[in-house]
């Protein structure tokens, strides 16, 4: 009695069909919404004095995404030290009108 073995061609066809189905499933899954929400930035940079800091600071404004980054340059370590980050959209929506 000879045992019936599946042919290698049939095994490869089934394997390729399974891999194609997996590729199709992964391809049609929607990407993360955080990647879609961020648009290409339009940056502006200005320098200015930072209260309580010896080196002057730089202020980077991303006009498209309404974000502000304040940083100073550490000469000895040759690194950019971030002081703070602000979401300008959230800041502008939370401001209250002041009496004049």
| pTM of the complete model | 0.51
Give 10-residue mean pLDDT values along the chain (100 residues): 72 90 81 60 88 84 90 88 90 68
Domain span holding position 64: 38-94
Domain membership of residue 99 (yes or no) is no
pLDDT of residue 7: 81
Residue 13, domain member (yes or no)? no
| pLDDT at residue 89 in the model | 87
31 domain-assigned: no
| DSSP label of 57 | E
Distance between CA 74 and CA 70 in Å, rounded? 13
**Residue among 67, 59, 61 nearest 89 (CA):** 67
Looking at the domain assignment, is residue 75 inside a domain?
yes
How many domains does the chain fold into?
1
In a domain, 47, yes or no: yes
Tokens linked to 63: 């006009």
- Asked if 7 contacts 32 with a C-beta cutoff of 8 angstroms, the reply is no
């Amino acid at each position: 009695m000879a045992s019936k073995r599946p042919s290698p061609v049939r095994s490869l066809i089934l394997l390729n069909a399974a891999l194609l189905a997996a590729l199709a499933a992964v391809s049609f899954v929607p990407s993360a919404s955080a990647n879609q929400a961020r648009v290409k930035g339009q940056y502006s940079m200005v320098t200015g004095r930072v209260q309580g800091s010896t080196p002057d600071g730089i202020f980077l404004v991303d006009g498209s995404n309404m974000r502000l980054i304040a940083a100073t340059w550490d000469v000895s370590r040759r690194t950019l030290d971030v002081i703070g980050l602000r979401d300008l959209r959230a800041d502008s929506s939370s401001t209250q009108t002041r009496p004049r």
